[in-house]
Structure 1
């Protein structure tokens, strides 16, 4: 037998553990479908902001309906993350990982036939509900499958894909969202990436870490050997863990991590969603002469900041990264408040700084939550943090246009800066350093 033939017939040896497994095609598949889910989320949330002005003119929407439609998917995200994250710990990750995108695909397509704000609101709440499930089980599945050395960068990259989806939606909305029918068609195109994610997810196995937590070691070994070419040693076996009760999130030894996660995540996303849902209104308040060009510039800074943030997430500890980025973002928005009557170019400088740093800082919102919880509580905890943070997102999205109308740009920016400052103080007090610890230990 020739050496070439011998190599062809020799099976690939099993890696000694999941953490030490080399990157396999299956890792890329799980990564691609989780990335695709975040692209779909960014696309869905970005598109409503891009076409909301058109729908407002066509449907003569009040300020309340504008706020409700802007916050609709976030409301669904709250309930989906909170309810279905818990389900993911009870029945496993795999079924939710597939079926939530059946709902997202169908509800996205039906937006084409929305004839008024009520039906569109209901459909977008359903889209958010499905995406909320993915916020809980998507990062959880990814963190439990991929090798330890790649977790930080891959989990952080989820936010970059969210930003890509958001920017694509913004550009398409600016170019083709000029009338009511075009706006509804663009909203319905969210079904296309969702359908692709659904097709790729069919056949995904259950998480080996979850199977181990249920005492199903033989099934976990079969998944590890077949899909990851890795071995699970006897030291990883454990008796079935009692089903996690929701109150465990607030038990001694876990409560501080949960409250930190809630506070830091809420402080991150409240200004983000508020600002980028109502970007045209903010640019008008800044008296920007060419808002379309500035919007594209801001979108590019979003992408650049997200990519740059991956390097820092991989290299830096979670705690210092979170504290420093909160500090820079607080200063940037406070400066916008101080310069509210300055020329547009002067206002754009701190705005671009905030955008760049915020995009990089947002990567940590996908990395920190799975690392704060043990396996049997992870989907419940991640779902709770994602869901509860959406209360802040929805509140900011609803309140910002009212604040801009009644109090102006300066007070609005000072208010958002205060939220970020609170996030920084909370992180100084409570942020743990989890890099390479909890998630890895769960295997």
Structure 2
């Protein structure tokens, strides 16, 4: 069976398993990054922390994910998908558990940073593994399901925030500990998955690749497939070569713009809604959960359109809707709670229907096997800069110029993302990874 035709019933079962376990990692990413927004009001009350400390509590995991994506993405290309696939989940288990028992705010910040390293690593690792095991026809849906599960994790953070509210001041510790429990379950199942045959072939480990393909398909693999992309000594600087720099700029640029706008909105949704809820924390959590839920709906819509519409129209529509919603929101001078929730929901629905899921697809499709995880890691790390910017800029904009100025800033970022996609977004629908990267593969020789 050909690597580009991995599509028999037996193979599809295996692909669903890989996708589910990879999506378990992105579920944890969404849960762990969002749960701090749910827990922050209680943490602030528990330790009476300063605004600077609040910003660090929110951003520490995002800063850690910048390190994890840039560093461990390249290690994934060097040492293999499976090894890093398991190790990064172990970091989730250990550091998520330790955060629940933090004794002061600085210990929490440090442990959230270390948890973030694992979160950042999981983006390029999981998406790369899924892309390399998927067929041409279903690759888009498989990879975008990782993005959709991120938003399932985000919604789950609000659901469990409500469920654990009766625990009072200790509910935030239970929420953080829950992330470790989820991670342990995913970790146990990930250990059993095989290495990517594409990576094995690239490293010249042909017999191992043949055995993995045989075990997955039940058939003898095509010998022609076992000879592709075999060039183990490739530098990551190829990402900035004439062949790949346009793609590198595109994936880093659109993901940076999406992350800046999305994190700026989502991490402070409870904070923005709080003054309109008359001190009712339940209403704030429900309103914020509705925004997160519409973000999930957007991701599901995009997941079901990506292999029919294609990548390019989906991402252009996504940034258009996000930008328009933010402009309308910025123009409303005295919004009600309902208007805020409605417009935030529309913004994240559009954002997540394209950019929020294609940030898993494009980086793994547009780079060759030799630097696929490195390229995805670079794009992830650049997006973390955008996330940090969104998280840190928003409260300072609000304090200095008001909420509307902050919303105009994010609308401008959305417009930049739209321009980048209109000019640079390629169409990769129904193409094999080898077809997409035929020119770049030649450049590696």
Task: Determine if the TM-score, normalized by the shorter chain, exceeds 0.5.
Answer: yes
5 Å matches for 1:39-54?
39-54=27-42
Partner Cα distance (2:42, 2:18) in 1: 37
Residues 45-75 of structure 1 deviation map (CA, whole Å, 9 limit, x = unaligned): 1111100111011111111111111111111
SS at match of 2:199: helix
SS at match of 1:52: helix
5 Å matches for 1:107-256?
107-177=95-165, 179-236=168-225, 237-238=227-228, 240-256=230-246
- Shift in Å, 1:293: 3.6
TM-score (norm 1): 0.92
Q: Which moved more, 1:352-361 or 1:292-301?
A: 292-301
- 1:77 is aligned, of 42, 65, 90, to 65
Structure 2 unaligned regions, length at least 5: 439-445
Match of 1:5 in 2: none
Tell me if the contact between 1:212 and 1:220 (Cα under 8 Å) persists in the aligned partners: yes
5 Å matches for 1:354-433?
354-361=347-354, 362-433=356-427
Q: Which moved more, 1:129-138 or 1:411-420?
A: 129-138
Match of 1:291 in 2: 284
TM-score (norm 2): 0.91
Assess, with a 3 A threshold, how the Cα gap between structure 1 residues 314 and 267 changes in structure 2: closer, same or farther.
same
Assess, with a 3 A threshold, how the Cα gap between structure 1 residues 16 and 293 changes in structure 2: closer, same or farther.
closer
- Shift in Å, 1:217: 1.9
Tell me if the contact between 1:18 and 1:224 (Cα under 8 Å) persists in the aligned partners: no
- 2:322 is aligned, of 321, 324, 329, to 329
- Shift in Å, 1:263: 0.6
Assess, with a 3 A threshold, how the Cα gap between structure 1 residues 22 and 352 changes in structure 2: closer, same or farther.
same
Partner Cα distance (2:339, 2:37) in 1: 25
- 2:346 is aligned, of 348, 353, 371, to 353
- 2:74 is aligned, of 69, 86, 106, to 86
Partner Cα distance (1:174, 1:400) in 2: 26
Residues 141-171 of structure 1 deviation map (CA, whole Å, 9 limit, x = unaligned): 0110122211101111111111111111112
The size of the alignment, in residue pairs, is 429
Structure 1 unaligned regions, length at least 5: 1-14
Tell me if the contact between 1:23 and 1:147 (Cα under 8 Å) persists in the aligned partners: no
Match of 2:22 in 1: 34
Assess, with a 3 A threshold, how the Cα gap between structure 1 residues 286 and 327 changes in structure 2: closer, same or farther.
farther
- Shift in Å, 1:175: 4.0
Tell me if the contact between 1:16 and 1:231 (Cα under 8 Å) persists in the aligned partners: no
Partner Cα distance (2:176, 2:194) in 1: 31
Partner Cα distance (2:176, 2:317) in 1: 37
Q: Which moved more, 1:190-199 or 1:19-28?
A: 19-28
- 1:338 is aligned, of 331, 334, 351, to 331
- Shift in Å, 1:21: 3.0
Tell me if the contact between 2:151 and 2:293 (Cα under 8 Å) persists in the aligned partners: no
Assess, with a 3 A threshold, how the Cα gap between structure 1 residues 285 and 422 changes in structure 2: closer, same or farther.
farther
Match of 1:10 in 2: none
- Shift in Å, 1:438: 5.3
Partner Cα distance (2:289, 2:106) in 1: 31
Greater radius of gyration (CA): 1
Partner Cα distance (2:419, 2:122) in 1: 30
Tell me if the contact between 1:148 and 1:440 (Cα under 8 Å) persists in the aligned partners: no
SS at match of 2:395: helix
Partner Cα distance (2:130, 2:42) in 1: 38
Partner Cα distance (1:67, 1:51) in 2: 13
Tell me if the contact between 2:204 and 2:232 (Cα under 8 Å) persists in the aligned partners: no
Partner Cα distance (1:95, 1:411) in 2: 45
Tell me if the contact between 1:21 and 1:230 (Cα under 8 Å) persists in the aligned partners: no
Residues 103-124 of structure 1 deviation map (CA, whole Å, 9 limit, x = unaligned): 1101111112101111111111
Assess, with a 3 A threshold, how the Cα gap between structure 1 residues 188 and 251 changes in structure 2: closer, same or farther.
same
RMSD (Å), alpha carbons: 2.0
SS at match of 1:189: helix
